[in-house]
Amino acid sequence: MLERKKKLLEGLADNTLTSAELAELMQGIRAGDPDFAQAIEELLQDSTNTGLLAPEREQWLFDKVMSRAHQEEKPVRRIPARIWRVAAAVTLLLGTTGVYVSLKKQQQQHTLAMEQRRPAANKAVLTLADGRQVELDSIGHQQLQQGNANIQQQNGQLKYESAATTATITYNQLSTPRGGQFVLLLPDGSKVWLNAASSIKFPVAFARERVVSITGEAYFEIRQDAAKPFIVNTSRSSIQVLGTAFNIMDYAEEGQQQTTLVSGAVKVTAGTEAVVLKPGKMAVVKENSLSVTDADTSSIMGWRTGEINVQGQEIAAVLRQISRLYNVDIEVRGTLPKDKLGYITDKNTPLSTMLDLLHEHGLQTKINGSAIIVTTRQ
């Protein structure tokens, strides 16, 4: 009987009930059948029917119920318009059985949890050469063996040690999700910090050259070895490195790549152009053009030292950063203002604080499942 009630509720949500099924649902609700409350609770916990996670499913079902309760529906499939007007009235009865209260409470709890969300730290996936994937986090301790390479995870760092090089070069990839970061110690002793939504592909042992590829954002501290140049390839350029420290930001959605030199020297090549950077300078690759500008290294490096820095960034760029750091989807409705923000905080800052920052610039925000809807000035 409970499965039948769940089926009827699903039919109400996606507009597939026949007239007879709708009448059956109405009769049960009007009778105050407590099984309907249990049926909704189970539907919210079961993600197999729609492919949605529980929070999104809560929002989905809640929105469907409320839309039936507050508006008349146009006729769909086999159900005439007058039947849907009755369905709207029926869903109002959900409040009398306590189901509406339960749905509203769950929505409020989910919204609060979203507002309190903080950027995750030390979270990544290691993909081995044979396709196996290993999940990494803040507290894990594990050891892997891959050929001559010994791989150790200690807290939020992954360390590679290789006894000798081989004729066959084997590559691994370390990837961070939105909301995650990780530190990689390469076989030559060079160190890499990966920011959120980034990846690095690298050999488990270096041969004549030391070559890696990245997406997203990474900070490098390279162990000097004049006999083995270190090269970082991105989607837009190639960076040749000596013993040095530098940051690369190459998110596809940002529309440009930034290579910022902290110390040492790097050569940035994009197409037929090339520049050698000095400390405190930034190479910008945009639309196949390469330029050099002064850089605020402390601001750019803030993410590695535990800051959220949106100093001097336009709101559109800030929204993209919030999406990466807090692992949320952002939907913009309207035209974003060109305001530049001036704000620096630490990575323990909850999402609600970042949303308040947007409110100060005339934007409205609404949490919808795992997404943030941003409504702009018209």
Q: Provide the pLDDT for residue 52.
A: 36
As a whole number of angstroms, the distance between CA 362 and CA 358 comes to 7
Phi, psi of 366 (to 5 degrees): -140, 130
Q: Are residues 227 and 187 in the same domain?
A: no
Domain of residue 281, CATH code = 2.60.120.1440
Of the residues 88, 115, 142, which one is the last residue of a structural domain? 115
In 3D space, the residue among 374, 292, 272, 361 whose CA is nearest the CA of residue 331 turns out to be 374
- For residue 226, pLDDT over 70 is answered with yes
- Per the structure, the complete domain to which residue 154 belongs is given by 119-207
Same domain, 101 and 131: no
The conformation of residue 198, written as its DSSP 8-state character, comes to -
Q: Are 194 and 135 in contact (CB under 8 A)?
A: no
**pTM higher than 0.85:** no
Please count the other Cβ atoms lying within 10 Å of the Cβ belonging to residue 149.
19
HSE, side-chain direction, 13 A CA sphere, residue 209: 8
* In the block, residue with structure tokens 């940002």: 254
d(CA 314, CA 247): 21
User: Which domain CATH number covers 329?
Assistant: 3.55.50.30
Q: How far is CA 378 from CA 313, 335, 364, in A?
A: 21, 7, 12
Residue 172 and residue 200 in contact, taking contact as beta carbons nearer than 8 Å:
no
Question: Is the same domain home to 63 and 111?
Answer: yes
| CA 104 from centre of chain | 27
d(CA 158, CA 352): 32
Under 8 Å between Cβ of 237 and 285:
yes
* pLDDT for 13: 61
> Of 78, 99, 115, which marks where a domain is finished?
115
Parallel/antiparallel/unpaired status of strands 371-375 and 329-333: parallel
In angstroms, the Cα distances linking 30 to 116, 292, 360 are 38, 71, 47
Confidence label for 84 from pLDDT (cuts 50, 70 and 90): very low
- Asked whether residue 315 is assigned to any structural domain, the reply reads yes
Helix, strand, or coil (residue 253): helix
Radius of gyration of the chain, Cα coordinates, nearest whole angstrom:
27
Task: Report pLDDT for 306.
Answer: 87
Residue 102 is encoded by which pair of tokens? 């339960």
Mean pLDDT confidence for 57-71? 48
215 in any annotated domain? no
Mean pLDDT of the chain: 80
Q: Give pLDDT, residue 168.
A: 75
Residue 358, token pair as written in the block: 């947007």
Same domain, 262 and 178: no
Asked whether residue 344 is assigned to any structural domain, the reply reads: yes
pLDDT digits (tens, 9 = 90+) for 266-313: 999 999 999 999 999 999 999 889 999 999 998 899 899 889 988 889
C-alpha triplet 326, 331, 335: angle, nearest 5°: 120
**What confidence score (pLDDT) does residue 20 get?**
74
* Banded model confidence at residue 31, pLDDT cuts 50, 70, 90: low
Last residue of a domain, one of 270, 304, 338: 304
Tokens standing for residue 367: 């949490």
Q: Report the C-alpha gap between 191 and 107 in whole angstroms.
A: 43
216 within domain boundaries: no
pLDDT at 148: 77
Q: What CA–CA distances, in Å, run from 298 to 91, 183, 364? A: 56, 19, 31
Two structure tokens written together for 38: 């249990």
Residues 237 and 250 in one domain: yes
Task: Give the pLDDT confidence score for residue 97 in this predicted structure.
Answer: 47
Number of H-type helices and E-type strands within the chain: 10, 25
Based on the fold, state whether residues 54 and 14 are members of the same structural domain: yes
Q: For 128-154, what is each residue's pLDDT tens digit?
A: 998 999 999 877 788 888 877 889 998
Q: Where are the alpha helices (DSSP H) in the chain?
A: 2-14, 19-30, 35-45, 54-70, 81-92, 94-97, 99-115, 297-300, 315-326, 351-359
Q: Specify the amino acid at residue 227.
A: A
Residues 123 and 58 in one domain: no
